[in-house]
Amino acid sequence: MKIAIHAFEGISLFHLATPSLVFGEVMRLGLDETWQTRLWSEDRRVTTMDGVVLDDLAGPADVLDADLLVFPSWHDDLRPADDELRESVQLAHHRGVSLAGLCLGAFPVVDSGLLDGREAVTHWAVAAELAARRPSVSVNADAIYVDHGDILTSAGTASSIDACLHIVRTRLGADAASMVARQLVVAPHRDGGQAQYVSRPVPDTGGVGQLGATIDWALAHLDQSLSIEALSAHAGMSRRNFTRRFIEATGSSPGRWIVSRRLDESRRLLERTDMSVEHVARACGFGSAVTFRQRFSGAYRTTPSSYRHRFSTSESG
C-alpha cells in the first residue's frame, strides 16, 4: 500500500512522525513489505516548526497513485484549504484513494466537501470551529476517531496513533496492529472518547450577579442533595424565577449544572487522591457508587478506575 503524507510550511515534526512511524513499522516488522510511506507538499520543500528543512519531497502529481492520503495536521490559523489542494483531494478520492485527516488535518479534508452529510472529528478545542465552518458535516466532539471506510478523521495528536493503528488493523488484521502497538509501546486500542481529556474550568461566579453566592455555596456542598428547592431557597427566589435566572446566567439548567460540577470534582479527586471510587461517589453527591459509575461512563466513555489509571497524579496512583 502506498501512503502519501502531506507536509506544509511550519508543520511540526511530531505530527509528521506519527503516521510515518506507525505505518513504517509495518514494513520494518515484515508484516507487509508493499507498504510504503512518502512525504509530499505543494512546493516539494518545507521548513518545519522545529527549523528542519525537508526537501526533495514528492509533489501533488506524485500522489495520484497513492492508496491512502494522510493529512497529519494543519496550519495553526486553520486557514481554508486553497482551491488547488481541495481539487487534489477530490481527484484523489474520485480515483479511489482513501483519506485520513488526523487532528487538525480534519480541516482540509472537510474543506474538500467529501464529508458533507457525514460525521467527522477533530481536536476537541477546535471542534466548534470545524462545525461552524462546514455546517453540512456533523462534528463529533467526543470520538477518538471516525472511520467511514473511505475517509477517516481523528481527534488530538495522541489519537492519531489510535487512528493509524486502526488503519493497520483494518487492512492487515488485529494481530498486525497488536504487533505494531507492542513495538511502539502503546495500547493497541484505547477505551473512551475525547470527553475525558476536555478541560472544563468552573466559570467565574463574579459574572452571574446575585446567583454567585448560591453557586459558590453549591460548589462547597456537592456532597449534599442540592435540590432546586434548596438552591432557590438559598438564593431567596421562587423555584421558577431561580431556574429562569440560572439558565440565563450559566446556559444550563440547575440539575444539569450540578451533575457537571459533581463530575468535574470526581475527576479532580480521581486524579489527585487515593480515595476509593465509593468514597469519591459520596464526596461528590452521587448517592451510590453504581450511580456514579453510570454517570461517569455516560459522560466520558470510560470507567472511574480506568480514568484514574490514566490520569492519576497521586504517588500511589
Burial label for 214, CB within 10 Å (0-12, 13-18, 19+), is buried
pLDDT of residue 205: 47
Q: Tell me whether domains 2-197 and 205-311 share a fold.
A: no
Distance CA 42, CA 152 (A): 22
pLDDT at 270 over 70: yes
pLDDT at 203 over 60: no
pLDDT at 70 over 60: yes
- Among residues of the chain, what percentage have pLDDT more than 70? 91
pLDDT of residue 316: 47
pLDDT of residue 194: 59
Domain residue spans of the chain: 2-197, 205-311
Please name the residue that has the C-alpha cell 506544509.
8
Fold category of 2-197 in CATH: Rossmann fold (3.40.50)
pLDDT at 199 over 80: no
- Mean pLDDT over 86-112 rounds to 94
Superfamily of domain 205-311 in CATH is Homeodomain-like (1.10.10.60)
- pLDDT of 155-170, one tens digit each? 887 889 989 998 998 8
Q: How confident is the model at residue 212 (pLDDT cuts 50, 70, 90)?
A: confident
- Taking all residues of the chain, what is their mean pLDDT, rounded to a whole number? 87
- pLDDT of 100-117, one tens digit each? 999 999 999 999 999 999
pLDDT of residue 207: 47
- Mean pLDDT over 177-182 rounds to 88
